[in-house]
């Protein structure tokens, strides 16, 4: 048990509620203290012809997934450590396989759970077919630090870079230690698919979405994590992560012409004995 969890046991519930309320007030205050940001959705993909059943009930992708599972189960990646759970990892793999992007950007590497599933999707759909593929994964800290070994704090056996090497994907996967906005504002690259799973603070997400839109190639896709519609809980006894929804709502109120489509319930288990996911896709709002 972590020190944080241990201390939490002895903090009165009433005090916890006061702290949470104050945090929420500060998050909203900080969000609306930012200058208005324009969103260019021109390159964002249309939702026409895209049905979630086509993504998550593909027999071809299911066969690929079975092969993936055999390759990655020995990594012993934990399922509920602040990153994507086992069911979400599968959903990310299926989604990337469906869109078959060439160049992918991931914001928020953490222990590499989503990283290795994105790289596997790129390997199966592109590399094995002689097509170019590239994944750039960005985290504000050095997730592969041999000194700090941050992955061990979350119960992971290997560093993200080690797992990528074990899979043989090091030629097309690049790790960057940088703040998300620094990287997105300074890079000269453009991307076909962007997974936003870094800081979930509303102020950060409010700036990350427009920055990501600027980096999209035509018909590009953005996938959000921890998107809670109407900021309501998705799981019993689990509080929502408020930031992404708050950021999206401010952008839409200011005229951003996009829509967010929650992936909802998946054909497999995610966490807490349910099939619910907090993943959501962004599409142009006029389609």
Digit-coded pLDDT (tens) for 67-80:
888 888 889 898 87
Residues in CB range of 258: below 8 A, 6 or more apart = 39, 41, 44, 251, 252, 282, 283, 284, 285
Q: Could you give the CA distance from residue 180 to residue 212 in angstroms, rounded to a whole number? A: 10
* pLDDT, tens digit, 9 for 90 and up, residues 85-100: 999 999 999 999 999 9
pLDDT at position 72: 86
Bridge partners of 107, per DSSP, are 138, 196
Closest CA to 283 of 207, 201, 197, 219: 219
Structure tokens that stand for 108 in this block: 């928020």
pLDDT at position 252: 96
pLDDT at position 18: 55
pLDDT at position 1: 42
Q: Where are the domains of the chain?
A: 1-33, 39-284
> What global pTM score does this model have?
0.92
Q: DSSP class of residue 196? A: E
pLDDT at position 3: 45
Q: Could you give the CA distance from residue 109 to residue 119 in angstroms, rounded to a whole number? A: 12
CATH architecture type of domain 39-284: 3-Layer(aba) Sandwich (3.40)
Give the percent of the chain with pLDDT over 70: 90
All residue ranges of the chain with pLDDT < 70 are: 1-25, 82, 286-287
Residues in CB range of 36: below 8 A, 6 or more apart = 254
Structural contact between residues 111 and 80, judged by C-beta atoms closer than 8 angstroms: no
């Amino acid at each position: 048990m972590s020190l944080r969890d241990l201390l939490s046991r002895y903090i009165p519930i009433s005090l916890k509620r006061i702290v949470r309320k104050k945090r929420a007030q500060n998050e909203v205050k900080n969000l609306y203290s930012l200058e208005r940001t324009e969103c260019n959705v021109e390159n964002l993909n249309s939702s026409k012809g895209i049905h979630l059943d086509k993504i998550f009930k593909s027999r071809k992708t299911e066969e690929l997934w079975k092969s993936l599972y055999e390759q990655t189960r020995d990594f012993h990646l934990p399922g509920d450590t602040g990153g994507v759970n086992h069911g979400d990892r599968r959903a990310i793999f299926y989604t990337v396989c469906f869109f078959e992007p060439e160049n992918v950007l991931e914001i928020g590497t953490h222990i590499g759970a989503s990283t290795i599933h994105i790289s596997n999707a790129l390997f199966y759909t592109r590399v094995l077919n002689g097509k170019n593929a590239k994944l750039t994964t960005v985290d504000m800290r050095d997730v592969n630090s041999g000194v700090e070994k941050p992955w061990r704090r979350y119960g992971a056996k290997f560093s993200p870079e080690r797992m990528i090497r074990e899979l043989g994907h090091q030629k097309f996967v690049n790790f960057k230690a940088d703040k998300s906005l620094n990287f997105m504002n300074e890079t000269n690259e453009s991307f076909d698919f962007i997974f936003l799973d870094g800081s979930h603070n509303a102020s950060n997400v409010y700036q990350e979405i427009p920055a990501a839109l600027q980096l999209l190639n035509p018909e590009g896709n953005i996938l959000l994590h921890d998107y809670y519609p109407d900021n309501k809980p998705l799981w019993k006894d689990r509080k929502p992560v408020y930031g992404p929804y708050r950021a999206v709502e401010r952008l839409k109120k200011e005229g951003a012409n996009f829509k967010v489509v929650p992936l909802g319930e998946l054909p497999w288990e995610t966490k807490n004995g349910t099939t619910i996911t907090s993943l959501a896709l962004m599409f142009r709002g006029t389609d």
